[in-house]
Structure 1
Amino acid sequence: MTRAPRLQGRTTLHWKPATTLLVAGSLLALVGCSDSDSDTTSKPSSTPTAVSSSPSSTANAENTAVLAAYTSSWDAQTKAYSKASSAGTDLKKTTTLRALFDIEHDLKVMRKAGQVTTGKPVINPKAVRVTHSKIPEATLTDCVDTTHWSLINKASKKPVPLPTTRLIKYVSTATLEKWGKTWMVTKLTAQDQAC
């Protein structure tokens, strides 16, 4: 049975048999999730300013760091899926071994099937919740749009046929942990729910 990268439905970014990659893509296309968010990245000021360390500014800084780590992880995954290999990507810098195991499994299945992805998904993360404990943890909700992220046969460059009922835009949740000063993705779960 041929497996394709999974874009929705399971923990991490698993690809079900030849349907998962575009299932996630289909999920994103089914429902638009484009709230006009403000840019989550902030650019440092060229002149220092006095800023009090209030709980809300600390929370905003944490949210920004979590979103940046999540986005970096997606960028690395997209690059890995585009060549069915994590070599030369930043996956190990953004993703823990637990989550990386599932991604590497997907990549192995894709290599065996001679498949890669083209294009890229559009992510729209929001609803960050940070829990402070011995190891700080964050969870966030995302709407992943795979409209322009396709699974293709590497040799022929032709699209891999996928079910028409797949979700192109779908809800995804992520869990991250803060290791030292770095937020790392520990788990990605695609939901069987359109967004």
Structure 2
Amino acid sequence: MRPTTRLRTLGLCACAVTLAGVLAACDSGKNTADDAAATQPAASAPPTMAGSTEPADPDAREKAAVLAAYNRMTTEQAKAYRHASMTGTQLQRYATLDALGKIRLDLARMKKDGTVVRGHIGHDATVTALDLKASTPTATLSDCVDLSRYETYYTRAHTTIPLPTAQPRRYRATAKAERWDGRWMVTDIDTSGGTSC
């Protein structure tokens, strides 16, 4: 399998984690005179400053939906590459014909060469562009693919094929998605960039 094919076989699973901060108030143990004074409104008291938080992203829900569809697609893609076959996967639920065409080409080459993918391919994807006003809403994703636990296995010789020495163990891939009938689908996968991340 050629290096570019290996890159493509890596696929394009990303997980989004939201951290919430909690502010705790401390009781300073004031005496009753201070408590009484505290109940009187101060004429020149400065306005209370709420915690400075950035405004919520109005597109957060759609971005999460795009990432969920992409993550499901890469999960199903990994299943296909483990056996060099789409049988038993749900790739068609998450990828359109164009994206599936690239995956099928990879699987055909793998079957011909007698190779499968073993190990784990890491993904750290983000939505870099989102157009919800288009007649067909579109999204672009950037994915940092991690090959540190990836293996190509040669089934005929029962041996592992090492990655080329020049192959970055973490590299940037891109993907595109469209929303069809309220559901996001991956329409294109591009692993040819190969820049480190």
**Structure 1-normalised TM-score?**
0.72
Structure 1 contact 63–128 (Cα < 8 Å) conserved: no
Equivalence for 1:72: 72
Secondary structure of the equivalent of 1:123?
Answer: strand
Secondary structure of the equivalent of 1:129?
Answer: strand
CA distance in 1: counterparts of 2:114 and 2:16, whole angstroms: 40
Deviations 1:112-165 (A, max 9, x none): 111101012110012432102100000111100011111001244311244211
Distance change (3 Å), C-alpha of 1:38 and 1:74: closer
Q: Which residue among 187, 191, 194 is the counterpart of 1:192?
A: 194
Deviations 1:11-33 (A, max 9, x none): xx3x5xxxxx6xx9xxxxxxxxx
Please, which runs of 5 or more residues in structure 2 have no aligned partner? 19-54
The offset of 1:168, in angstroms, is 1.5
Secondary structure of the equivalent of 2:130?
Answer: strand
Specify the structure having the higher radius of gyration (Cα).
Answer: 2
CA distance in 1: counterparts of 2:4 and 2:118, whole angstroms: 12
Please, which runs of 5 or more residues in structure 1 have no aligned partner? 16-20, 25-36, 41-54
Report the residue type matching 2:196 in the other structure.
Answer: A
* Higher relative contact order, chain-length normalized (CA < 8 Å, sep 6+): 1
Residue-pair matches, total: 156
CA distance in 2: counterparts of 1:88 and 1:5, whole angstroms: 26
Secondary structure of the equivalent of 1:74?
Answer: helix
- Is residue 2:5 matched to residue 1:6? yes
Report the residue type matching 2:195 in the other structure.
Answer: Q
**Identity over aligned pairs, percent:** 35
Equivalence for 2:106: 106
Structure 2 contact 84–108 (Cα < 8 Å) conserved: yes
Secondary structure of the equivalent of 1:108?
Answer: helix
Q: Which residue among 39, 55, 66 is the counterpart of 2:17?
A: 39
The offset of 1:58, in angstroms, is 4.8
The offset of 1:192, in angstroms, is 2.3
RMSD across aligned positions (CA): 2.3
CA distance in 1: counterparts of 2:71 and 2:116, whole angstroms: 21
Equivalence for 2:63: 63
Structure 1 contact 5–110 (Cα < 8 Å) conserved: no
**Structure 2-normalised TM-score?**
0.72
